[in-house]
Amino acid sequence: MFNNFTKEEKIQKQEIQRQLSERQQLYMRVFNTVDGEEVLKDLASRCFDTVTTYDDMPHKMAFNEGRRSIYANIVRLLNRDISDIVAELIKE
């Protein structure tokens, strides 16, 4: 995996992977609870998960895209597909 890197680069990359793994575990502990699921559904409804972020005003569109990006990152950290959460929202 790290064949073309120096020893220091390999150590640095391994540390980054360790930190990302810890962050992912933290997000999973927070959102893999009943309350966490409710918060995630609320974020989905507020953060443009199923609708476009387009707006005629470029600054507003950029703001909307920032909200969507945060939500997408949380979902990615949870190893969940956004479509799974959308399906849950549609059931309600």
Write the pLDDT tens digit of every residue in 12-71.
888 888 888 888 889 999 999 999 999 999 999 999 988 899 999 999 999 999 999 999
Q: Which of 49, 54, 52, 53 is nearest to 87 (CA)?
A: 49
Q: Quick check: is 78 in a domain?
A: yes
Average pLDDT, the chain: 86
Q: What is the pLDDT of residue 86?
A: 62
Residue 14: give the domain boundaries: 7-91
Q: Quick check: is 1 in a domain?
A: no
Nearby residues of 34 by Cβ (< 8 Å), 6 or more positions away:
none
Asked whether residue 82 carries a pLDDT value surpassing 70, the answer given is: no
Q: Number of folded domains in the chain?
A: 1
Q: Quick check: is 2 in a domain?
A: no
Find tokens 């990006």 and name the residue: 69
